[in-house]
Amino acid sequence: MSVLASSRREVLARRWIQIVGFSLAGLATAAVIAPVIWIVVDIFVRGHSAITWNFLTDAPVRQGKEGGIFPVIVGTFYLMIGTIVVAVPVGVQAAIYLSEYAKPGRLLRLINLSIVNLAGVPSIVYGLFGLSLFVFVLDLKTSIMAASLTLGCQALALIITSSREAMLAVPREWREGSLALGASRWQTTRHVVLPRAMPGILTGIMLAIGRAAGETAPILAVGVAFQLGRLPNSPDDQFLALPYHLYAIAVQVPGMPESRMWATALVLLAVVLAFNLGGIILRIYYGRRRQS
C-alpha cells in the first residue's frame, strides 16, 4: 500500500509541475502578446478616422498638416525593395558558404561571432558608416541607393544568422544521402538543403526587412528628406519615408493634428505588415512543397 501511495503522490506531483509549467508559459506568452495587441488597437483607434482616399493619394501640404502621404508611401516601398535587392542575395549566399562550404575552425568561429555582434550595432552607427562610405567615398550622393545599401548592411547580420541556422537545422543524413547518390555539393545544397531551410530563411528576411522599414537614424544621414516637390525618378534621387516623416511631424512641426500623426503610424504599420504577409505566404508555400 505504501508503494502504491508513493506512486500516486509522484504522479500527482508531476501533474502539478506540468500544470504550473504550462501556466507560467501561457502567462509569459500573454505578457508578450498583450502589449503588441494593445499598441496596434490603440494606433488604429487614434488614427483610423484620418485615413481617407485623399490622405493616401495626395502629397503633403503645409509641412504635412494638410494633404496626404502618397510620396512618403512610395518612397518607403522603394527603400524596402532596394534593401531586399541589396541584402537578401548577399546574406543568403554568405549563409550558404558558412554552413555548407567553410571549414570548421577558429576563423569560422570568429566570423560567426563577428556577424552576431554586428546585429547589436546601434543603427546610427550604420548611418554614419553609410554616409562616409557610400556618400563621401563612393560618391553616391544622398539618395535611395545610398540608403538601400546602408539598410542592406544593417540587415545582413540578421539574414545571415537566421539563414545559416535554418540550413544547419537540415539533418546531416540528408546531405550524406544526396552525396552518396552522386550529387555534387552544390546540387545537394540547391535541391536538398535550401528547399527544407526556406521557411526559416524567409522568417529571417521578414524580420530584417521589417526592422529596416522602421529605421529612422540610418536613412536620416544618407538621403531621406521631409519635403520634396516630386517623386524620386531614379535611385540617385532623394526620397521621403514613413519613419522619418512620422518623426518630423510628431516632433518638428508645431500644431500638427494628432489624428494625422496616428494615421501615419497606422500606415507605416500596415506597410510593414503587408511585406510580412507576403513573406508568410511564401513560407507557407515552401512549407507545403517540402511536405509534398
Determine the average pLDDT of the residues in 256-262. Answer: 88
Average pLDDT, the chain: 86
Average pLDDT value for residue range 167-183 = 87
Q: How far apart are CA 180 and CA 198, in angstroms?
A: 23
Mean pLDDT along residues 46-73 = 86
DSSP-derived letter for residue 224 is B
- Alpha-carbon distance 266 to 128, whole Å? 29
**Quick one: what percent of the chain has pLDDT higher than 90?**
16
On the question of pLDDT at 53 being above 60, the answer is: yes
Amino acid symbol at 64? G
Q: Cβ–Cβ contacts within 10 Å for residue 215, how many?
A: 23
Helices then strands (H, E): number in the chain? 12, 2
- Residue % of the chain over a pLDDT of 70: 96
Per-residue confidence (pLDDT) for residue 291, from 0 to 100: 63
Over residues 8-31, the mean pLDDT reads 83
Task: Show contacts of 99-108: CB within 8 Å, 24+ apart.
Answer: 99/164, 99/167, 99/168, 99/193, 100/167, 100/185, 100/189, 100/193, 101/185
Q: Is the pLDDT of residue 210 over 80?
A: yes
Contact in structure between 242 and 268 (CB atoms under 8 Å): yes
| pLDDT higher than 70, residue 141 | yes
Q: Return the minimum-mean-pLDDT range out of 14-18, 49-53, 171-175, 265-269.
A: 14-18
82 touches 146 (CB < 8 A): no
Segment 251-260 mean pLDDT:
85
Q: 114-139 pLDDT, tens per residue?
A: 888 888 888 889 999 999 999 899 88
**So what's the pLDDT on residue 234?**
82
Q: How confident is the model at residue 217 (pLDDT cuts 50, 70, 90)?
A: confident
Which of 3-7, 75-79, 229-233 shows the lowest mean pLDDT across its residues? Answer: 3-7
CA–CA dist 273, 210 (Å, integer): 8
Whether the Cβ atoms of residue 88 and residue 151 lie closer than 8 Å to each other: no
Residues 76-107: tens digit of each pLDDT: 889 989 999 999 999 999 999 999 888 888 88
Q: How many residues does the chain have?
A: 292
SS3 state of residue 239: strand
Please determine, for residue 140, whether its predicted confidence score (pLDDT) is greater than 90: no
CA distances from 62 to 255, 256, 258 (A): 11, 10, 15
Output helix, strand, coil percentages for the chain, rounded to the nearest 5: 80, 0, 20
- 168: CB partners within 8 A, 6+ apart: 99
| Mean pLDDT on 197-223 | 85
- 227/146: higher pLDDT: 146
Question: How far apart, in whole angstroms, are the C-alpha atoms of residue 284 and residue 286?
Answer: 6
Is pLDDT at 26 greater than 80 in this prediction?
Answer: yes
Residue 221, class by beta-carbon neighbours within 10 Å (0-12 exposed, 13-18 middle, 19+ buried)? buried
Q: 242: helix, coil or strand?
A: helix
Residue 150 has pLDDT above 90, yes or no: yes
Enter the DSSP assignment of 256. -
* Alpha-carbon separation of residue 277 from 3, 29, 196, 224, 280 (angstroms): 56, 22, 20, 26, 5
Partners of 224 in the β-ladder: 239
Q: What are phi and psi of 120, to 5 degrees?
A: -100, 5
